[in-house]
Structure 1
Amino acid sequence: MAVMHVRNGSSKWLVVWLEPHGEDRWLERGEMLCIRTDNNGVKLAFDVEYHANDEERADGIENVTVYAENCSYDVDVTDEEGNPVECGHKRPEEIDRKWAARRAAAEEELIRTS
């Protein structure tokens, strides 16, 4: 089993993206996630990439993507006490609205151009 802890040490939101699952979890300052896979340790279990753009930084958002590699599709994400932390954890409502609007616009464009 491979384990990675991710803690938000900044004053901004830290969005932890889990790939290849396409899941997001939003961490407040000091909050931590524990990511576990069934990786057997022969090859790397995780690859980590930090990324942010000017717009996200202005909104107080930083991002880290954790790629779970060389394991089954099952990845457990918990808090420090071992409680499951689901996709969308603490995602701000305004982000949900923004993403829903973008999705609707993309669907509308797809219908329009089909």
Structure 2
Amino acid sequence: MASIRLNNDTAAPLGIWIEPWGTDHWMKPQEIFTVVADDPQDPPAGDVPFDVVFHEQGVSVHVNLAYQATVYDGSGAEVHCGHQRPLEVMCAWIESAEVAEDGRGALTSVEAAAREARESQ
């Protein structure tokens, strides 16, 4: 099995996304996680098991050669999606979803008005 160790050597929580599944796992300062990927039967020669991408929201670990990956903390306990997700992140995501829902409702109203205008011509 392929694995990669991640260390949060900062003073702030760090978001880790495991792709292509999009799961988020949040590391406290000085915390260590290990991502373990199940190897496929016959991985192509020369392929790398992970790509790591740093971005404004945190770090994405792209699992290239497996169908499943598991995240473990420094004690070896499995870490699930949403682990230690900060409250302010949760609130921002909920607010974004509500705004998107309001936008969809407004768009539906505009579409209905446009349809009605076309039908009345």
Look up the SS of the partner of 1:110 in the other structure: helix
What is the TM-score with the length of structure 2 in the denominator?
0.79
| Alignment length (residue pairs) | 104
**Alpha-carbon deviation of 1:38?**
1.6
Partner of 1:67: 62
Consecutive unaligned residues of structure 2, counting only runs of 5 or more, are: 109-121
Map of 1:1-114 to 2, 5 A cutoff? 1-39=1-39, 42=45, 43-52=47-56, 63-72=58-67, 74-114=68-108
Distance in 2, Cα, partners of 1:102 & 1:91: 16
What is the TM-score with the length of structure 1 in the denominator?
0.83
Look up the SS of the partner of 1:25 in the other structure: strand
Q: How large is the RMSD of aligned CA atoms in angstroms?
A: 1.5
Distance in 2, Cα, partners of 1:108 & 1:96: 18
**Alpha-carbon deviation of 1:27?**
0.9
Q: Which runs of 4+ in 1 moved over 6 A?
A: none
Consecutive unaligned residues of structure 1, counting only runs of 5 or more, are: 53-61
Look up the SS of the partner of 1:103 in the other structure: helix
**Alpha-carbon deviation of 1:89?**
1.0
Partner of 2:111: none
Point out which structure has higher relative CO (alpha carbons under 8 A, 6+ apart): 1
Distance in 2, Cα, partners of 1:13 & 1:63: 9
Look up the SS of the partner of 2:78 in the other structure: coil
Letter in 1 for 2:50: F
Letter in 2 for 1:29: P
